Amino acid sequence: MKKRAFDRYPANQNVRLYFENNISTGTLLNISKSGMFVNTRTCLPLKTKLEIHLPIGEDILKVPVKVARLSRKDDIYDGIGTELLESSAKYLEFVDDQTRIVKTTEKKIKTFVCSVCDHITFDTAPITCPFCSGSIDNFHDNSGALNIPEKIDTLTEFEKKHFPLIILSREYGPAQDFKHLDVHVKVGAIQHKMDVEDHISFIDFYFNDMHLPKKCIARINLNCNILNPEATLRFRDVNPGILTIISNCNTHGSWLSETTI
Ligand SMILES: [Fe+2]
């Protein structure tokens, strides 16, 4: 078997594909110094030249590539392997950053993501996606691609716009009896914008006690332009455990925050 010239690293990033006068979307699943693999339902013939627009922070890196490989699953077209037509210092820097991210977080947390609705599960992929009802075949391993804060007090401005902020408020009755717990989530400490190009598309709430795996208990879908990236859930009953929030930016991927309740 021919060995790849460069190592590939997993990624999970929404990208846009520009070819001739068309625009399509896809998810960047892995990247190397010589090319990228993009999950997309847009069928492009081999050798098609296109530009992949890759969000890096708040900038867009435009990478000229050509289609070198077509991917199919169960006879359905599901992605393209591409070769770079031109490299740049910024692209190589981005690949190096992915390398570092993978090395620091790859084995810490195992996650799978649904390629249809972006729902993330922990440890294993479900038989059926709880949100889009798609099959387990739509899930791919994206361990290392989920953004997790290393140190909350050293976040950059860009990170502060994406990591969800969790605010808890408990209410008690006159006899100090527990009434409810409100979990308010804001994205983020600096509010994320909500325009078509760059917005928070949903907030997923997960809960697990100390013995059970994390399970998603609610999703709030957000409509860009008319809503702030905020959501509140009211719990009538609470067991001690860990509340995990994932916010999904349509351009900059998934971001996780956690708290104990
Ligand atoms: Fe964003």
Stretch 130-154: mean pLDDT: 85
The 10s digit of each residue's pLDDT in 113-139 is 999 999 999 989 999 998 899 999 999
Domain ranges for the chain, please list them. Answer: 9-105, 147-260
227 by DSSP, 3-state: which? coil
Q: How far is the CA of 197 from the centre of ligand 1 (A)?
A: 9
Confidence at 99, pLDDT banded by 50, 70, 90: low
Task: Indicate the range of 28-32, 116-120, 129-133, 216-220 predicted with least confidence.
Answer: 28-32
Q: How far is the CA of 19 from the centre of ligand 1 (A)?
A: 24
Q: How far is the CA of 58 from the centre of ligand 1 (A)?
A: 7
Q: What are phi and psi of 3, to 5 degrees?
A: -85, 140
What pLDDT is recorded for position 226?
A: 86
Q: How far is the CA of 54 from the centre of ligand 1 (A)?
A: 12
Burial of 118 per CB tally in 10 Å (0-12, 13-18, 19+): buried
What are residue 111's DSSP bridge partners?
122
Q: How far is the CA of 162 from the centre of ligand 1 (A)?
A: 6
Q: Which fold has domain 9-105?
A: Thrombin, subunit H (2.40.10)
Q: How far is the CA of 148 from the centre of ligand 1 (A)?
A: 15
Answer whether 0.75 is exceeded by the pTM: no
Please state which CATH number belongs to domain 147-260: 2.60.40.730
Three-point CA angle 206, 228, 244, nearest 5°: 15
Q: How far is the CA of 20 from the centre of ligand 1 (A)?
A: 27
pLDDT over 80 at 105, yes or no: no
Contact between residue 127 and residue 136 where contact means Cβ atoms under 8 Å apart:
yes
What is the average pLDDT value for the chain, to the nearest integer? 86
